[in-house]
Amino acid sequence: MKHAKEFLEVMDKLEPLFAEHPRFSVMDFPLLCDWVAYFWNRGTISYLLEGEGARGVCLIKMFRHLGQFLEPFVHDPCGKFCMVELLVAKDPLAIAYTYFELVKRWGKPEIMMWDRGERTEGGTPRMYTWSDYEKLTRRLTYGLIDKEETVYGRRP
């Protein structure tokens, strides 16, 4: 598949972060680009770059019916579910930045799902109400999601 030069430049910087996730670490660069292009084209990717490197990347998928979380390529932003497909960040600021970018684009879905690897019991993604997901994100970012101006003020 052919990709835009800008997309490939960003992917080149994000590749080391994707390599930290078991599912994406087995993909070669062309396959990774093909996979992530789906999210890029729908605006369901958020990332923070700094200089020549990346600090964080997040992929989400949105859907209407619970069973759709099993579908790799689903996009129904009018549904009530949102699943974090991937979140890799070097620091809390990167998590907060990707959080704000996606909330600005898509709002606050009713139900969030997230498979956090070894932290997910029994292999099934955890489900959160929006307020519970926000509490979790607040803990992961040490309260940075309460200080949007700080996050964007420190943006590289």
Q: Which residues contact 49 (CB under 8 A, 6 or more apart)?
A: 10, 13, 14, 55, 156
- 95-147 residue pLDDT tens: 999 999 999 999 999 999 998 766 555 667 899 999 999 999 999 999 999 98
Residue 121: Cβ within 10 Å count? 8
| Annotated domain spans of the chain | 46-153
Cut 0.85: pTM above it: yes
Is residue 28 pLDDT above 70, yes or no? yes
The CA distances from residue 22 to 17, 116, 118, in Å, are 11, 11, 11
The CA distances from residue 97 to 71, 125, 149, 154, in Å, are 27, 23, 11, 10
